[in-house]
Amino acid sequence: MKVTLVLLLLLPAFPAAQDAAKVNVRVYYESMCPDSRHFFLEQLYPVWSNLSDILNLTLVAYGKAKTMEVPGVGDYRFRCQHGGRECKGNILLTCATHHIPDQCQAVDFARCIMEKVKGAAAGPQCAEETGVDYSAIENCLDSPEGRKRQYEAGLNQNEYASDLDYVPWIIINDVFSRELLWKAQSDLKGVICTAFQGTKPVYCEL
């Protein structure tokens, strides 16, 4: 009886965030895009840091890029809205998504890349600052693997955001709403907290 009572007393100390389905958030962005950078640093990262327990987050660094297949060799080249440095930064972020097993650490690494505004050149520094093993990411960056993964990022975007005409492109619970896209730019926390159907985390009330 005493053990049961102790467990009951402890229950309120645990988050109530698991009493409903998580909110699915897809973000299509670009490594050198000012609007992507502002959204990532001012909205996405703070919200992720406080509400990751109720989020299924998918980050895809592609945006308004174009993929060109190299005939006969199964390789790819890319053209990006903000030039070649953005293409390389996008590949870096894509490689990081695949080679950093802990998602919280992967999002932190991406946050650092967006913050430095140096694209792939910030990779080693951000790996050091976030405690990431950079070797696999570095090997991926300038390799057929990296280009294949970036090609696949484009396929993902074509599947879920084929009508993308703005970056960052934000999809909540797998249904795109232009109204939510604009609202998320300034109040992602409000969008997520409204979409979550369970007991609201304390951060939602702040």
pLDDT band at 176 (very low <50, low <70, confident <90, very high): very high
> CA-to-CA distance for 193 and 62, rounded, in angstroms?
27
pLDDT at 1 over 50: no
Can you say how many angstroms the Cα of residue 164 is from the centroid of all Cα atoms in its chain?
16
SS3 percent helix, strand, coil of the chain, rounded to 5, is: 60, 15, 25
Residue 18 has pLDDT above 80, yes or no: no
> How far are the Cα atoms of 37, 105, 188, 192 from residue 45, in angstroms, in the given order?
10, 12, 10, 13
Structural domains of the chain in order of their starting residue, each with its CATH number = 21-205 (3.40.30.10)
User: How far apart (Å, rounded) are the C-alpha atoms in residues 89 and 112?
Assistant: 12
pLDDT value for 3: 40
Tokens of 195: 């979409």
Nearest alpha carbon to residue 200 among 192, 92, 141, 42: 192
Question: Cβ distance 51 to 15 under 8 Å?
Answer: no
- Calculate the average pLDDT of the chain: 92
Q: What is the pLDDT of residues 152-166, one digit of tens each?
A: 999 999 999 999 999
Split at pLDDT 50, 70, 90, the class of 6 is very low
- Answer yes or no: is pLDDT of 8 > 70: no
Residues 73-111: tens digit of each pLDDT: 889 999 999 999 999 999 999 999 999 999 999 999 999
The one-character DSSP state at 175 is B
Q: What is the DSSP letter of 143?
A: S
Q: Which residue has the higher pLDDT, 54 or 72?
A: 54
Rg, the chain, Cα only: 19
Residue 14: what pLDDT? 38
